Amino acid sequence: MTGKRTEILVIGHRGMLGQDLMARLGARAAGADREECDVTRRDAVEALLDELKPAMIINCAAYTAVDQAESEPELARSLNADAVENLGLAARARRIHLITISTDYVFSGEGEAPWPEDAPASAFAPRSVYGQTKLEGEQRLRRIGGEFCVVRTQWLYGAGGRNFVDTMAALSAEKPVLRVVNDQLGAPTWTRDLADALTLLAERRATGFFHVANSGFASWYDVTRHIVQRLGRACRVEPCTSEEFPRPARRPHNSRLAQGKFAALAGSAPRPWPAALDAYLSERHGRNTDGNPTFS
Ligand SMILES: NC(=O)c1ccc[n+]([C@@H]2O[C@H](COP(=O)([O-])OP(=O)(O)OC[C@H]3O[C@@H](n4cnc5c(N)ncnc54)[C@H](OP(=O)(O)O)[C@@H]3O)[C@@H](O)[C@H]2O)c1
């Protein structure tokens, strides 16, 4: 028992987003992961909240193995929906503000317009088990009510976990040619920028649905070309379609997220994706954005 009231409890604090969020919140936050509390168990969640008495919870825990979820739907559901319900019920009973993270994969991916935060029911047609179970988490929270906030984000990368940017940075150093899908559009988003946005949403005690991503839109092909160019790799990048690169889970083609609500609250949307990616590459891969080594 700590005896002291925790300001913000971060669930999933050792995950990719959780690590950047803990760094951003500093002494204001306490963290819990599966090791400290299995959030799929309601009794474990209630015991943790009664011990730490947080004023706010930010839930970063999830089943995030998108392809694997196709063959493990119950496991994905237990974390992406049951655990969110556990947190929602326990938070409502204790008047704790709950922020949880969702995804662009809840949308059908049709059309070309950015998805609004309060999209009509017809927009929600997930293409994958991961997207379906994340949507179920959102729906259960809506039913529970209380002081909650759902933050949909997308295409995360950060130093604390495996991600597309690091994979492409490594592959482009080894391979002469990379073929990358060019028919899925969204925005690569640095977990550090998302952590800043979550901190602001927490400070404002925001409720309802928000979209937060780095600004602008790109395909994975565009993102890879940017990485290759900035890191000064000789590798050639070729576009391909999702059909040419089949994966167990289908991904939405149109993953553009409109973030007017967040921009209105914060004064602006997070910085453009190329600027965030340049900063990450410079810090993590030791390159200036002009392709020259930072340290040599
Ligand atoms: N990554 C993306 O591109 C992306 C895109 C859109 C939305 N999101 C959402 O953003 C959030 C953060 O994603 P992320 O990539 O940072 O996730 P992540 O790196 O996979 O981290 C998830 C965390 O949840 C913890 N966890 C798993 N099972 C648990 C349990 N039963 N009880 C308590 N904790 C448990 C994990 O701990 P263990 O390591 O011990 O299992 C891990 O620390 C998630 O809600 C995700 O759905 C991610």
Widest Cα–Cα separation across the chain = 58
- Residue 154 carries which side chain, given as an amino acid letter? Q
Domains and CATH numbers, the chain: 8-162+188-216+251-271 (3.40.50.720)
- List, as one string, the DSSP characters of 165-208: HHHHHHHHHH-SEEEEE-S-EE--EEHHHHHHHHHHHHHTT--E
The residues, any chain, with a CB within 8 Å of residue 110's CB and separated by 6 or more, are: 125, 253, 254
Q: Compute the distance from residue 62 Cα to the ligand 1 centre, in Å.
A: 4
pLDDT of residue 285: 87
**Over its length of 296 residues, how does the chain's per-residue pLDDT go in tens digits?**
344 678 999 999 999 999 999 999 999 999 999 999 999 999 999 999 999 999 999 999 999 999 999 999 999 999 999 999 999 999 999 999 999 999 999 999 999 999 999 999 899 999 999 999 999 999 999 999 999 999 999 999 999 999 999 999 999 999 999 999 999 999 999 999 999 999 999 999 999 999 999 999 999 999 999 999 999 999 999 999 999 988 999 999 999 999 999 999 999 999 999 999 999 999 998 755 554 544 32
Cα 139 → chain centroid: 18
Residues with CB under 6 A from ligand 1: 12, 14-18, 33-34, 37-40, 60-62, 64, 79, 101, 103, 153-156, 161
Out of 63, 105, 130, 157, which one is annotated catalytic? 130
Q: What is the pTM of this model?
A: 0.95
| Cα 113 from Cα 42, distance rounded (Å) | 39
Task: For residue 13, give the amino acid letter.
Answer: H
For ligand 1, what atom is nearest to the CA of residue 59? Answer: 45
Task: Output DSSP code: residue 91.
Answer: H
Euclidean distance between CA atoms 181 and 49, whole angstroms: 43
Q: Is 280 a catalytic residue?
A: no
Of ligand 1's listed atoms, the one at least distance from the Cα of 65 is 20
